[in-house]
Amino acid sequence: MKAGLLRFLCWACTAVLILLLAFPAAAEETPLTNEEVTQILWELYQTENSDAEYVVLPDDYEEPAVGRTGIYHLLLLGIDNPSDAITGRSDTMLLAALNARTGELRLISFMRDTYVKIPKHGHNRLNAAYAYGGPELLMETLEKEFGVHVDGDVAVNYALMAELVDAIGGIDIEVKQAELKKLNGILEYYNYQRGVPEQEGRLEEAGLQHLTGLQAMSYARIRKLDSDFVRVERQQRVILAIYHQLLTLPTATLAQIITTKVSKVATNITIAQAVSLMATALSYDDIKVTTMRVPADGAYVSRMINNAYFIVPKLERCRGDIQEFLYD
């Protein structure tokens, strides 16, 4: 019996040695990175009837800012207020969907005159939701009316937008001849408000121009030249120009801008999330950007209601347009 036991132990030791040599990773387990864990979770969630909700996660696991799907929905708001306050109506409402997995950025502009039902406030223009209850009420309205999910929001006064553009070194915009006079008129008005010579910073010619913050803000606020639909397209151009300018800046400069300006911004995003999102957006050399407007052509009717002009959306069509645009 003793000889048999000895032979068994020798065989067992030999087998263990073979296994260790064949599978060295089993001897020294390397913990998965956060990115690897997130990828596994995403693949599990993509599988029907999976048990992903019962997966035990590592103690130090931190979900990335873009979540497990890799998509972050950021609501960008420009507030129309003569002072520096971030209160009043949301003149610009733009949903930016960043897909970290595909390197795509999709922008949806919501028309401010869209006729919607605002929870506990009845029917009104969409831009009134922010004035009634801040970003929370606006996000609730967007979700109930259009089925839009928002992960985070950033609201800035137009005056701060000018500061931010100057902080990143200005932006390049193609200014049309018809836009030149309107841009200069708005710029002169802001110069008058600031107590500086009205002619300061005027653009002398149309074409591709490198705009300062005040010039960019004046361009984005052109109102009575064409229509609110074209105005939304100008705002989208400004957002894209800001993004392309950010691509040229060192990471340290971006981090400094975020930390110095964040106190003037109304947002529910932490500095750590902001830096993470910025790093994700700038990690692609050539990110694909597509834009749309809600309501799109054919998805609304124009109406005069109580002597006021409204864009009345066809909600079912709008919801379908948004889902198709964001998620194909």
Q: What phi-psi label fits residue 191: left (phi over 0), alpha (psi between -120 and 50 degrees) or beta? A: alpha
pLDDT tens per residue, range 87-142:
888 988 999 998 887 888 899 999 999 999 999 999 999 999 999 999 999 999 99
What total of structural domains would you count in the chain? 1
Q: Which residue do the tokens 């009420």 mark?
A: 137
**Residue 147: pLDDT above 60?**
yes
Between 164 and 1, the more confident residue is 164
Query: What's 53's DSSP letter?
Result: G
Is 97 part of a structural domain of the chain?
yes
Is 194 part of a structural domain of the chain?
yes
CATH number at residue 82: 3.40.630.190
Is 26 part of a structural domain of the chain?
no
Judge contact between 174 and 236, C-beta under 8 A.
Answer: no
Is 101 part of a structural domain of the chain?
yes
Is 44 part of a structural domain of the chain?
no
| Residue 143, domain extent | 71-327
Is 181 part of a structural domain of the chain?
yes
Is 35 part of a structural domain of the chain?
no
| pTM recorded for the entire structure | 0.75
Is 4 part of a structural domain of the chain?
no
Report the pLDDT averaged over residues 145-173: 90
Residue 172 identity (one-letter amino acid): D
